[in-house]
Structure 1
Amino acid sequence: MSLFGSTTPSTGTSSTQVLGTAADLQADRDLVSPPEDSVSSLAFSPQAEFLAVGSWDKKVRIYELAPNGDSQGKALYEQQGPVLSVHWSSDGTKVASGGTDKAGWLYDLQSGQSTQVAQHDAAIRTVRFVDTGNSGQQILATGSWDKTLKYWDLRSQAPVATVQLPERVYAMDVQQKLLVVGTAERHICIINLDNPGAIFRSLQSPLKFQTRTIACFPGGNGYAIGSVEGRSAMQYVDEREQQKNGFSFKCHRDSPGTGPRSESNVYSVNSINFHPQYGTFSTAGSDGSFHFWDKDSKHRLKGYPSVGATISTTTFNRTGSIFAYAVSYDWSQGYQFNRADYPIAVKLHATKEEEIKPRPFKKR
Structure 2
Amino acid sequence: MRDSWAAIKPVVRPNGGYQRIPPKIGGALFLMMAVTLVYLILPDHQRTAPSDGHPNYPLVSGKRTSDGVTFRIATVSDLDQRSKVDGDKNSWVSYLKLGQLTLLNTGKVIVEFEDQAERLVGHISEKGRAIELSELVLFNHRLYTVDDRTGIVYEIDSQHNLVPWVILRNGNGHLPEAFKAEWMAVKDGDLYVGGLGKDWTTGDGVLLNKNPKWVKIISPNGAVRHENWTLRYEALQAAAGIRWPGYIIHESAVWSKIHRRWYFLPRRSSNERYNEKEDERRGTNLMISCRDDFTDIQVSHLGDLNPTHGFSSFKFVPGTHDEVIVALKSEEFGETLASYIVAFNINGRKLMPEKKFAEAKFEGLEFL
TM-score bracket relative to the smaller structure = 0.3 to 0.5
- Could you state the TM-score of these two structures normalised by the residue count of structure 2? 0.45
- Could you state the TM-score of these two structures normalised by the residue count of structure 1? 0.46
Query: Between Structure 1 and Structure 2, which shows a larger proportion of helix residues?
Result: 2
Give 1 or 2 for the bigger CA radius of gyration.
Answer: 2
